[in-house]
């Protein structure tokens, strides 16, 4: 029987028991996901070699030539099977590190630097030699039981989806730090639908984390005919994103490592690269984002004004808008303060509205995101709005499925939000299509309750009718008490007669 994603999910998640409880999830995720990547590549190539051996009747030269043309190459000393065979050796962490270096070197065009931020010999993360070797031996043993050859899998996306499953579960374990590398799946799905990507689009996530949102947006297209670009500041998370792209067979994705605001690396002819679609879930209200350098930004991204140095939300928004092409769309997750805070943010908000870039403001339920219970909003920007200067406000804050630790958006909730956005209709207590004049009248404040009235008026009490009902109940009670007293008197309780 072929392995399903559910089976792989279960077995790989069980492998996490090697680390769970002794190492923080934000650390051990890198070891688990890297080992899954190495195991899968090893099994893929083992499957390919067996097929070529049969095809070419064991001709070593032809087999070697065919293997040299495969997507990836793994030296014999660096395969998972070789590492597993040496799992009892005293320097196991160093052996794994060496194997990763060999894999990088053999695939320099694809994997250069991907493993540089992970150290399987780390005493700080994995413990002293004896304990470290025990954990790594168990990790290899756990993965050895998984046959990840493509011919043994129930579908092409099984491994990529298992990788996503692991990242999501690591996020649920990681608490506050989870937001640094993962956007909840249903939020990614909603954002991907709202920006409406199409075949042939260039799609970018300038704060891509592990790449989940970028991949969700590509999947919305329903075709691999898209170009994916991303940038991530955290080195280990950048590595996860690179591996995530390969496991989803998006080999041509360009994922850069660096600070998007202070060192944007997605460039063309030394200018910012332009995209059809830009999506992001940037860090909320980032302090010390680089305001001091913004006035001299060589890409002139802050010509509308400089966001406050203690809140970088509009720095990311501005960057996204400046990287849109003439008909591009952007979708960004933001804290609600972005909608109404004054000062330089108020001026930036006014300018973006006056330029007719803002298309939608969508309020989300609280407790959707890992590590924070605060509600967030999605802003949609569109450079091709034409004569339509309206903005659709949607209050979806009350529409969610309650969870034990986290709320979730169901498929029906997502569809209603999307349909309302597309139809741009006013619905009582849910949405409102505001004109630019109305927004100006509100001093460019985008706080959703100013436009969508969700106040539920309490039902008026009929005082006279209620008094009649009380009198009736009192009379009925007196009758019952009199009847009860009669029964008690017959039973000899004279005091009730």
pLDDT over threshold 70, residue 310: yes
Neighbours of 167 (CB within 10 A): 24
Q: Which residue has the higher pLDDT, 9 or 417?
A: 417
User: How confident is residue 125, by pLDDT bands cut at 50, 70 and 90?
Assistant: confident
Among 42-46, 441-445, 457-461, the range scoring the smallest mean pLDDT is 457-461
Cβ–Cβ under 8 Å, residues 389 and 356: yes
Q: What pLDDT is recorded for position 404?
A: 66
Q: What pLDDT is recorded for position 199?
A: 96
108/114 Cα distance (integer angstroms)? 10
Show which of 155, 185, 208 is a domain's final residue: 155
Q: Residues 312, 352: one domain? A: yes
Mean pLDDT of 184-206: 95
pLDDT tens per residue across span 221-242: 988 999 999 999 999 889 999 9
User: How confident is residue 78, by pLDDT bands cut at 50, 70 and 90?
Assistant: very high
Can you tell me whether residue 104 is helix, strand or coil? helix
Neighbours of 450 (CB within 10 A): 18
Q: Residues 476, 414: one domain? A: no
pTM of the model: 0.86
Domain-located, residue 131: yes
User: How confident is residue 467, by pLDDT bands cut at 50, 70 and 90?
Assistant: confident
Domain-located, residue 455: no
Q: What pLDDT is recorded for position 182?
A: 67
Per the structure block, which two tokens stand in for 57? 């009747």
Mean pLDDT of 239-254: 92
pLDDT over threshold 90, residue 97: yes
Q: What pLDDT is recorded for position 124?
A: 87
List alpha helices for 107-234, DSSP H: 108-111, 123-126, 129-144, 158-174, 185-195, 212-221
pLDDT over threshold 80, residue 373: no
Q: Residues 443, 383: one domain? A: yes
Q: Which residue has the higher pLDDT, 476 or 363?
A: 363
Q: Residues 111, 221: one domain? A: no
Helix, strand counts (H, E) of the chain? 18, 11
Domain-located, residue 165: no
Q: What pLDDT is recorded for position 153?
A: 80
Mean pLDDT of 317-340: 97
Instruction: Provide the percentage of residues in the chain whose pLDDT is more than 90.
Output: 66
User: How confident is residue 1, by pLDDT bands cut at 50, 70 and 90?
Assistant: low
Q: What pLDDT is recorded for position 84?
A: 96
Domain-located, residue 146: yes
Q: What pLDDT is recorded for position 463?
A: 79
Q: What pLDDT is recorded for position 483?
A: 79
Q: Residues 212, 241: one domain? A: yes
User: How confident is residue 42, by pLDDT bands cut at 50, 70 and 90?
Assistant: very high
CATH number at residue 326: 3.40.50.150
Q: What pLDDT is recorded for position 112?
A: 93
Q: What pLDDT is recorded for position 352?
A: 97
Mean pLDDT of 444-460: 80
User: How confident is residue 177, by pLDDT bands cut at 50, 70 and 90?
Assistant: low
pLDDT over threshold 60, residue 497: no
Domain-located, residue 44: yes
Q: Residues 441, 476: one domain? A: no
Q: Which residue has the higher pLDDT, 181 or 189?
A: 189
Q: Residues 129, 107: one domain? A: yes
Buried residues in 329-347 as b, exposed as e (16+ CB within 10 A): bbbbbbbbebbbbeebbeb
CATH number at residue 31: 1.20.1260.30
Segment of 162-176, 369-383, 471-485 carrying the highest mean pLDDT: 369-383
Reported as type and span, the H/E element at residue 423 is helix 411-423
Can you tell me whether residue 184 is helix, strand or coil? coil
pLDDT tens per residue across span 329-353: 999 999 999 999 999 999 999 999 9
Widest CA span of the chain, in angstroms? 115
290/315 Cα distance (integer angstroms)? 9
Domain-located, residue 458: no
pLDDT over threshold 70, residue 442: yes
350/464 Cα distance (integer angstroms)? 52
Of residues 36, 43, 31, the one with CA closest to residue 72: 43
Q: Residues 229, 131: one domain? A: no
What does R_g of the chain's alpha carbons equal in angstroms? 30
322/264 Cα distance (integer angstroms)? 12
Q: Which domain holds residue 302?
A: 177-450
Please count the structural domains in the chain: 3
Q: Residues 131, 223: one domain? A: no
Mean pLDDT of 92-115: 95
User: How confident is residue 263, by pLDDT bands cut at 50, 70 and 90?
Assistant: very high
The mean predicted confidence, pLDDT, of the chain is 89
Q: What pLDDT is recorded for position 370?
A: 67
Cβ–Cβ under 8 Å, residues 406 and 367: yes
Q: Residues 84, 206: one domain? A: no
Q: Residues 328, 370: one domain? A: yes
pLDDT over threshold 70, residue 79: yes
**Dihedral angle of Cα 426, 427, 430, 435, to the nearest 10 degrees:** 10
Domain-located, residue 172: no
Segment of 100-104, 207-211, 450-454 carrying the highest mean pLDDT: 100-104
Q: Residues 346, 443: one domain? A: yes
Q: Which residue has the higher pLDDT, 295 or 469?
A: 295
Domain-located, residue 457: no
pLDDT over threshold 70, residue 386: yes
Q: What pLDDT is recorded for position 489?
A: 75
User: How confident is residue 308, by pLDDT bands cut at 50, 70 and 90?
Assistant: very high
């Amino acid at each position: 029987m072929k392995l399903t994603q559910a089976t792989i999910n279960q077995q790989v998640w069980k492998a996490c028991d090697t680390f769970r409880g002794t190492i923080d999830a934000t650390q051990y995720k890198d070891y688990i996901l890297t080992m899954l990547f190495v195991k899968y590549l090893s099994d893929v190539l083992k499957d390919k070699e067996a097929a070529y051996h049969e095809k070419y009747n064991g001709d070593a030269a032809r087999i070697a030539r065919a293997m040299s043309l495969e997507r990836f190459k793994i030296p014999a000393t660096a395969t998972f099977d070789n590492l597993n065979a040496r799992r009892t050796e005293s320097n196991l962490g160093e052996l794994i590190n060496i194997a990763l270096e060999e894999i990088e070197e053999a695939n320099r065009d694809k994997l250069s630097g991907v493993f540089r931020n992970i150290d399987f010999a780390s005493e700080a993360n994995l413990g002293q030699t004896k304990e470290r070797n025990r954990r790594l031996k168990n990790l290899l043993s756990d993965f050895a039981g998984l046959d990840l050859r493509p011919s043994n899998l129930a579908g092409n996306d099984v491994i990529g989806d298992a990788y996503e499953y692991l990242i999501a579960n690591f996020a649920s374990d990681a608490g506050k730090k989870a937001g640094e590398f993962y956007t909840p799946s249903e939020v990614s799905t909603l954002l991907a639908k709202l920006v409406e990507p199409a075949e042939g689009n260039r799609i970018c996530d300038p704060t891509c984390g592990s790449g989940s949102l970028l991949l969700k947006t590509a999947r919305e297209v329903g075709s691999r005919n898209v170009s994916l670009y991303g940038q991530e500041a955290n080195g280990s998370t950048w590595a996860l994103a690179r591996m995530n792209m390969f496991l989803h067979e998006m080999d041509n994705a360009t994922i850069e490592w660096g600070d998007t605001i202070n060192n944007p690396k997605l460039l063309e002819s030394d200018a910012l690269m332009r995209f059809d679609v830009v999506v992001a879930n940037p860090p909320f209200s980032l302090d010390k984002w680089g305001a001091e350098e913004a006035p001299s930004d060589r890409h002139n991204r802050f010509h509308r004004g400089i966001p406050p140095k203690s809140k970088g939300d509009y720095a990311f928004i501005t960057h996204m808008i400046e990287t849109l092409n003439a008909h591009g769309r952007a979708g960004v997750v933001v804290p609600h303060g972005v909608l109404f805070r004054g000062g330089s943010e108020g001026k930036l908000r006014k300018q973006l509205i006056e330029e007719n870039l803002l298309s939608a403001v969508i309020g989300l339920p609280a407790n959707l995101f890992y590590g924070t219970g605060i509600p967030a909003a999605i802003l949609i920007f569109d450079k091709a709005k034409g004569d339509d200067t309206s903005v659709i406000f949607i209050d979806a804050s009350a529409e969610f499925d309650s969870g034990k630790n986290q709320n979730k958006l169901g498929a029906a909730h997502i569809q209603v939000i999307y349909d309302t956005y597309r139809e741009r209709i006013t619905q009582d207590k849910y949405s409102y299509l505001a004109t630019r004049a109305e927004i100006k009248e509100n001093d460019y404040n985008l706080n959703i309750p100013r436009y969508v009235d969700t106040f539920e008026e309490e039902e008026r009490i009929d005082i006279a009718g209620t008094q009649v009902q009380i009198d009736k109940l009192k009379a009925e009670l007196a009758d019952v008490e009199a009847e009860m007293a009669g029964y008690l008197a017959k039973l000899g309780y004279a005091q009730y007669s």
